């Protein structure tokens, strides 16, 4: 995970990551949504935001961000304008595709005159005169068709328009005689008949095809032909994911204070390696740990300046000789056992008494309080 975290923090990787996610996000989320229906019942606005939020959180976590939730929120919110633009384009294409049809073919009741059956013998004998009577039949006709229209808001929030999402109806027709009649077809006289073979027009009303509600998919975009009409094919849309994930990385970045602290930690490790000491002994960029109080207080192989005298604290035991000391000409060093015996078994008490004796003999020497 350390290597991955370092890799994700590389500026070049962070620049290329949104584009790489764009390549994979469209097919991946399409498969998830289609096969498992994770986003099937969500509005496109919410589905797109959640997808970008998930990508933003994962990207921030992989890059070692301290604020993956903040990065995820920024990525999700940034996707909203792209969702609206996608919905607006989808609504425009849908309305344009259906606006060209103004009429539809239907069967409507129509009053016609029907011949009353008669016997020619009765007519010849004057008992009956041929006549007609009005009747109602279902006749083909053309009526206005109003195509349903959708708005960007309808698509974004998954709202179905009040008008039925149906295309124009049409008629299935053929000509023939009475023997050609099929169930479900209405028979009307053929005004252009030339014989009994094409005496009638048989018609059946076919309902319009159901129109699919367009969606606002920001991970892909339709491929248009030379006239700007959709071809039915789609290609990956890189821009929305690239911008959303870039916004997420920016929102999850370290603050200047955190960047400074991280730089100090890295520099402390470098200096500790340079001097061959523990990191806790490094106090500053320009401080040599061999000459700082922290080194002498916490132990280590020290070079101690004892020009002012005083007690020595460091690693090892009373006779290990692990501390290098800087002494001045004429100074005298006593053993740890001598200090302990001088304090009746207490090293601290012995040090106090030796300080007192040193200060009495050399008033300018270091006082224990100063130590």
* Angle, alpha carbons 259-260-265 (nearest 5°): 95
| Average pLDDT over every residue of 249-260 | 89
| Residue 171 CB-half CA count within 13 A | 22
pLDDT (tens digit per residue) in 20-46? 554 555 555 554 444 445 667 788 899
Looking at residue 287, what is its pLDDT?
Answer: 66
Token pair, residue 105, equals 């073919």
d(CA 351, CA 366): 12
pLDDT computed for residue 71 by the predictor: 92
Residue 191 is given by DSSP the state T
Q: CB of 186 within 8 A of CB of 204?
A: yes
Confidence band, pLDDT 50/70/90 cuts, at residue 152: very high
pLDDT digits (tens, 9 = 90+) for 162-199: 677 888 999 999 999 888 888 889 888 888 888 888 88
Task: Indicate the pairing of strand 303-305 with strand 324-326.
Answer: parallel
Could you tell me the pTM of the whole model?
A: 0.58
Q: Would you say 152 and 213 are in contact if contact means Cβ atoms under 8 Å apart?
A: no
Q: Which residue has the higher pLDDT, 239 or 306?
A: 239
Instruction: Calculate mean pLDDT across residues 234-258.
Output: 88
Provide long-range contacts, Cβ within 8 A and 24+ apart, for 301-305: none
Give domain limits for the chain. Answer: 2-98+217-253, 103-144+170-206, 255-287, 299-371
Mean pLDDT, residues 301-315 taken together: 49
Residues 231-259, mean pLDDT to the nearest whole number: 86
Residues 315-354 pLDDT 10s: 556 655 556 666 677 778 788 888 889 899 888 888 888 8
């Amino acid at each position: 995970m350390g290597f991955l975290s370092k890799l994700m923090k590389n500026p070049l990787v962070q620049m290329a990551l949104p584009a790489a996610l764009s390549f994979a996000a469209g097919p991946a989320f399409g498969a998830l949504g289609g096969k498992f229906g994770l986003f099937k019942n969500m509005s496109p606005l919410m589905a797109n935001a959640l997808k970008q939020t998930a990508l933003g959180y994962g990207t921030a976590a992989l890059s070692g961000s301290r604020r993956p939730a903040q990065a995820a929120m920024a990525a999700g919110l940034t996707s909203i304008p792209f969702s609206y633009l996608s919905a607006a384009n989808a609504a425009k294409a849908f309305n344009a595709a259906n606006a060209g049809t103004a009429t539809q073919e239907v069967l409507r009741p129509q009053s016609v005159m029907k011949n009353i059956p008669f016997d020619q013998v009765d007519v010849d004998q004057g008992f009956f005169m041929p006549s007609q009577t009005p009747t109602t039949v279902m006749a083909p006709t053309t009526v206005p068709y109003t195509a349903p229209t959708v708005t960007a808001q309808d698509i974004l929030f998954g709202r179905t328009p009040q008008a039925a999402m149906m295309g124009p109806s049409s008629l299935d027709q053929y000509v023939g005689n009475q023997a050609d009649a099929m169930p479900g077809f209405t028979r009307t006289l053929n005004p252009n008949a030339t014989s009994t073979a094409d005496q009638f027009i048989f018609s059946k009303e076919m309902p319009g095809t159901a129109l699919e509600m367009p969606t606002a998919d920001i991970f892909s975009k339709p491929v248009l032909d030379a006239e700007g009409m959709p071809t039915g094919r789609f290609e990956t849309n890189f821009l929305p994911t690239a911008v959303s994930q870039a916004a997420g990385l920016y929102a999850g970045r370290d603050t200047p204070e955190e960047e400074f602290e991280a730089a100090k930690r890295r520099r402390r490790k470098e200096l500790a390696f340079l001097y061959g000491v523990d990191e806790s002994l490094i106090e500053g960029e320009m401080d040599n740990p061999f000459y700082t109080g922290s080194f002498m207080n916490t132990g280590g192989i020290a070079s101690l300046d004892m020009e002012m005298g005083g007690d020595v604290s460091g690693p090892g035991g009373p006779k290990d000789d692990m501390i290098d000391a800087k002494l001045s000409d004429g100074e005298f060093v006593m053993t740890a056992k001598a200090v302990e015996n001088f304090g009746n078994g207490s090293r601290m008490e012995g040090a106090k008494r030796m300080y007192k004796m040193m200060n009495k003999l050399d008033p300018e020497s270091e006082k224990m309080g100063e130590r």
